Amino acid sequence: MKPGFISMGIVIMALIMAAIAVISPAGDASGDAGDATGVTPVPDRSHFPPEVPSRDDLQVTSQEDTAIDTTPGDGMGRTAKHIAYAYQPNVSDVVVFTSYWTVPERPAYDEYIKHTVFLWCGLQQGNLGLIQPVLEWDHDDTGKYWTIGCWIVNKRDHTYEVSRRFRAYPGDRIRADLRYITDPANPGKKVWYIAISDLTRQSMTYMLDHRRAVDTNQNLTLFSGVLEGTDLVRYDVDLPGDVTFEDVICKAEGGVDVPLSLTGYVHPDMGQVAIEFEDGPTGTSVIINTQRNTGNS
């Protein structure tokens, strides 16, 4: 990399951090959830929000490498499905959305064919775009291990972008951040900053949504905890251990709380999975219970 690019990168990163500092709520909020008290909602397809295209139908660009992903589809279980999630539609004025969780035990499935799993939170603008900090298991570009990365899914130009990935391990503490900040490259506009950090390993990756897959902070669907997998993820052996998205924080300008009233969904073919909610002093925890507490790390 040329020195000029390094200098520009330092300047841009400084501007990003300055913008984030302006809208950050005071202090970090993290903690462990206790016993869940909520009840799993009855699955109802009418609650299923509009979806952006499947990852497998889109071209891929990456912040590391802008080449198109030419990985061929095998025709078997390549389509992603939402197994369980908690969400709220029509959320407006959000400028800070933060969530914490712990990397769960890996799925016990250990055969050659990939059974990819995603754990994420995110914001979706209608049927136009989705921004996500993601914990991935056995992705096409990785292997049978956990990785963290940021995703931007954009129906406007039928692409999705993926940030640089870092490896993560069961028990690691994950923090996800979505922040609506002044665009360092265009101070007259706002842009979404997407980041995911492994606080245990002190690794972090981020992206800016310059193509504006999500170009507003109004009338968004907020996902506060999602378990997603390919169609081959069907049985207990394919699922990770239980995961809790803790201390979900949603703020407007000035640190004002954006109230959330979450709805849960469980795929009708995945009856072994349940969603529970637990209210705490810093927000609502979302517990995705896979009823699978064994596995190899």
Distance CA 190, CA 183 (A): 5
The pLDDT assigned to 13 comes to 47
5 has a pLDDT exceeding 80:
no
Q: From CA 237, how far away is CA 226, in angstroms rounded?
A: 19
pLDDT at 250 exceeding the cut of 90: yes
Q: How confident is residue 141, by pLDDT bands cut at 50, 70 and 90?
A: confident
Supply the pLDDT for residue 281. 77
pTM: predicted TM-score of the whole model, two decimal places:
0.76
Q: How many CB atoms lie within 10 A of CB 47?
A: 14
The residue among 289 and 70 whose pLDDT is bigger is 289
Q: What is the mean pLDDT of residues 106-134?
A: 93
β-partners of residue 21 are none
Residue with tokens 């927000």: 283
Residue 87 pLDDT exceeds 70: yes
Share above pLDDT 90 across residues of the chain, in percent, rounded to a whole number: 57
* Range in 78-92, 125-139, 170-184, 200-214 with the lowest mean pLDDT: 78-92
> pLDDT digits over 22-67, tens only?
333 333 222 222 222 222 232 333 333 334 344 444 443 434 332 2
By CB neighbour count within 10 A (0-12 exposed, 13-18 middle, 19+ buried), where does 86 fall? buried
pLDDT band for 78, please (50, 70, 90 cuts). Answer: low
Average pLDDT, the chain: 77
Predicted pLDDT of residue 113: 86
Token pair in block for residue 16: 């990003």
10 Å Cβ neighbour count for 153?
Answer: 24
- pLDDT band, residue 122 (cuts 50/70/90): very high
In this prediction, residue 292 carries a pLDDT of 60
Lowest mean pLDDT, pick from 4-13, 78-87, 207-216, 242-251: 4-13
Pull the structure tokens for residue 120.
């994420």
CB-based contact 33:109 (threshold 8 Å): no
Q: What is the mean pLDDT of residues 83-99?
A: 96
68 pLDDT above the threshold of 70: no
pLDDT in tens, 144-165: 999 999 999 998 888 889 999 9
Q: Provide the pLDDT for residue 158.
A: 86
pLDDT above 70 covers a percentage of the chain that reads 72
For residues 218 and 95, the answer to whether their CB atoms sit within 8 Å is: no
